[in-house]
Amino acid sequence: MCIPYFAYASDLVNVRLDYAQFTATGPMVQDGSLSYSNLFDAIVDAFHWAMEKEGIANVNVAVSESGWPSAGNGNLTTPELAQTCNKNFMAHVMSNRTPKRPKEYIEGFIFSMFNENLKPPGVEQNWGLFEPNM
């Protein structure tokens, strides 16, 4: 799971929306020689660094869940923001790699196909691309 929304929603002062939504036009974070223009890559590479610290290297990572909720937290969760993030996420994983692993494609999946109206109210119900009554 790699969901930049949670970092953005929990720290609006230090995490910019364009960094969380793959829309930054240049590097936002510099980590030594590595430049990060989106939070997704920074999170995935942080996981790579942690794995290497534990002696696990050269393992391909699949991101099983990513996305942006379309409702449930006021103006931080709108259909437009969800569309922007999901569209940019798919374009990113189909054609880009992380700064730490520039030769490895990222396998990634959007969470979720449908909104889940039986989950607790708020953002947890609103990760789907479609309504459950389709």
**Which residue ranges make up each domain of the chain?**
4-125
Beta strand extents in 76-126 (DSSP E only): 107-110
Report which of 33, 45, 55 is spatially closest to residue 106, judged by C-alpha positions. 45
Give CATH for domain 4-125.
3.20.20.80
Q: What pairing do the DSSP bridges indicate for beta strands 62-66 and 34-36?
A: unpaired
**Is 80 exceeded by the pLDDT of residue 92?**
yes
| CA distances from residue 78 to 11, 18, 36, 39, 114 in whole angstroms, order as listed | 18, 15, 25, 19, 16
Instruction: Read off the pLDDT of each residue in 105-130 and give the average, rounded to a whole number.
Output: 95
- pLDDT band of 74, cuts 50, 70, 90: very high
Instruction: Read off the pLDDT of each residue in 47-71 and give the average, rounded to a whole number.
Output: 95
Instruction: Read off the pLDDT of each residue in 18-47 and give the average, rounded to a whole number.
Output: 98
* The pLDDT of residue 32: 97
DSSP 120: P
Beta bridge mates, 114 = 130
* The pLDDT of residue 76: 98
- The total of other beta-carbon atoms located within 10 Å of residue 117's CB is 12
How much is the mean pLDDT over the chain?
96
Question: How far is Cα 88 from Cα 25, in angstroms, rounded to an integer?
Answer: 13
Question: How far is Cα 7 from Cα 12, in angstroms, rounded to an integer?
Answer: 8
* The pLDDT of residue 133: 85
B/e letters for 46-78, b = 16+ CB within 10 Å, e = fewer, are eebeeeeeeeeeeeebebeebbbbbebeeeebe
* The pLDDT of residue 84: 98
- Tokens representing 105 are 């494609």
**Is 80 exceeded by the pLDDT of residue 102?**
yes
Instruction: Read off the pLDDT of each residue in 56-83 and give the average, rounded to a whole number.
Output: 96
So which residues are the catalytic ones?
A: 65, 116, 119, 124
**Is 90 exceeded by the pLDDT of residue 134?**
no
